[in-house]
Amino acid sequence: MEDTDSIVYLRNIDGFLHLNFAKYLSDPDTCPFYPFLGAVFSLPGWSVEIGARMASLAFSILLFITLGLLGFSFLSVTEVLFGLFLLCFSPVLIPLSFAVLTEPSYVAVIYLGFFIFWKQYKNPTFWSACLLGMIFGASFLNRLEGIFFFAVVPFWQVSYYLYEGKKQLPLKQLLQWVFIYLAVFTAVMSPQIYKVSNQMGKFALNGRQVYSIIRHMPGSESEIEKLFGLTYSPKVLNIEYLSKNAQVLNRYQSGTNPVQYVKTVANEFNILCQKQLGEIIGPFAMILFGFGLLAMYRDRLHFNIFLIISFIGVNLAGPLLHNVAIRHIISIAPIMFLVGGGGMGYLRKEISSQSPVRRSFLKNPAFITMIAACICLLAWIVPLRRDLNPPAHNAEYSPKELKEPIAIIKKISARDLKQPPNVASERGYLAYFSKGYQFYLPFADLEAFIRYCHLNNINFFYLNHLQVKKKGYPFYKHFENSTPSGFTPVYEGVDDKGNRTTLFLVDKID
């Protein structure tokens, strides 16, 4: 699996597949779009893991088609094909194209909406407003960031009207279009907002808002202590407790310092510029993107440039407030690659026209295109090789590491528990693959940790010593060189990096 979120999605897909909506209805973080489609793609009878990957792959194909159609509206065939070439060989996009994550489907949906808006903004109609409201409303049902398009799409249409549409677009038609779009978007997202608000006891768009509020709470505690402490309940972690107790959450929300958000945006923007853009786009593709914008400017496609820049901006807004991890900003890559295709065409024309030798190879468009493609591939050669030969583990776990613990948990559960086990661990992989329930580790001392285990009827505790030690969990010092009373080691091993791991059986209180 790609990361911990993948496990959450798989559990929800399995629930949708078997018409068991208990987890979805009890979890304010869960959006229904990807789990539903993952369940649909699992109907043939294969595992939900395969169904989830098939759903992501189908949307990646949709993205490819949509991007090509968008490109043909303002680029030549060669330029579009070059942009699609960059899309297909991007070392970041290749593993994400079939990942068990919401990003592939979310990106495909917003690009479909962007393409439809691009084709209709000069003559907006009732049906285009309905269609765009449904598409961008569906993006919100997939990821919280989709809410930005509630305001951005009408802003685009009004901007066109103010820019040059007054001559051909009646004000009444514009206002009707905006109203219909907002009404349809609202109708699509309202059931989800009602569910989340009902679960949290206050108006809310998504449970993940709590994460942002907790991160920016005043205080000297570390982020992990704020999230996973037992400040409000000995049984429930802070982030879970605040998600369902609006009065306590409101108290902290009112005391949140806006300066903290400004600092977060500044820090994430610095990371974006210094590291992430180079990794996701590549230096040469970034240069081509710049030349592509220049070519559009010279072709007087000013409003189209505005659409592209603002589309990139709105897709960066959410991550800048939260985390500019690669997969969170992946939605900016396809449009930048497509415009980069236009930049390649612009460079090709400029080089050909400036070459002093009449029969120079620099006058050959195919040769210049091939050189540009080779430069991009050379810049990506190392990450592409990694994609074609992926490691046996990621930053969080490896299947080999968990093989024995899974077998042990299943054996003991079948013999002694006669029910799915409750597993406490830092990550959710072991609980998922052993058909159990996940309980995340509390940031607490040993006494509080033991009480947490007993209150939640924890059966197994899995400890990756280095990971837990690095994050400063207070209880860990009691497990570093000994075993506290109440815990029985049933497995000792190492992960793929050679770090010590231990599986404990948690003793029950009679």
User: What's at 200, amino acid-wise?
Assistant: M
pLDDT tens column, 190-215: 999 999 888 888 888 887 777 777 77
Quickly state the pLDDT bin for 256 (edges 50, 70, 90): low
Share of the chain above pLDDT 70, in %: 93
Enumerate residues 6+ apart whose C-beta is below 8 A from 457.
422
- Cα–Cα distance for residue pair 91/82, rounded to 1 Å: 16
Q: What are the tokens at 387? A: 């994609």
**Residue 497: predicted pLDDT:** 83
- Check pLDDT > 90 for residue 313: yes
Q: How far apart are the first and last CA of the chain?
A: 38
Reduce the DSSP state of residue 8 to 3 states and report it.
helix
Give the Å distances, CA to CA, from 335 to 46, 62, 72, 120, 495. Answer: 34, 14, 13, 18, 39
Average pLDDT score, the chain: 88
- Taking residues 446-453, report their average pLDDT: 95
pLDDT digits (tens, 9 = 90+) for 3-57: 788 898 999 999 999 998 888 888 888 899 999 999 999 999 999 999 999 999 9
Q: How far is CA 57 from CA 5, 30, 53, 113, 199, in A?
A: 18, 21, 6, 19, 32
H or E element: which one contains 55?
helix 48-71
Phi-psi category of 91—alpha, beta or left, where left has phi over 0 and alpha has psi -120 to 50? alpha
Buried b / exposed e over 423-445, threshold 16 CB at 10 Å, is bbbbbbbbbbbbebbbbbbbbbe
Which has more pLDDT, 497 or 475? 475
Please say if the pLDDT value at position 255 is more than 60.
no
Report pLDDT digits (tens) over 100-118.
Answer: 999 999 999 999 999 999 9
354: Cβ contacts below 8 Å, ≥ 6 apart: none
Give yes or no for a contact between 104 and 38, defined as CB atoms under 8 angstroms apart: no
Please give the structure tokens belonging to residue 313.
Answer: 């901006």
More confident site: 263 or 434: 434
3-class SS of residue 479: coil
CA–CA dist 496, 394 (Å, integer): 9
pLDDT surpasses 90 at 84: yes
Model confidence at 477: pLDDT above 90:
yes
User: Would you say 325 and 274 are in contact if contact means Cβ atoms under 8 Å apart?
Assistant: no
The torsion angles phi and psi of 243, rounded to 5 degrees, stand at -65, -20
Helix axes 48-71, 77-89, angle to 10 degrees: 150
How far is residue 156's CA from residue 149's CA, in Å, rounded to a whole number?
10
Report the distance separating Cα 90 and Cα 384, nearest Å: 8
Look up residue 154 and give its two tokens.
């009408």
Q: Which two structure tokens, joined as six digits, stand for 214?
A: 């907790």
Residue 510 has pLDDT above 70, yes or no: no
Tell me the pLDDT band of 278, cut-offs 50, 70 and 90.
Answer: confident
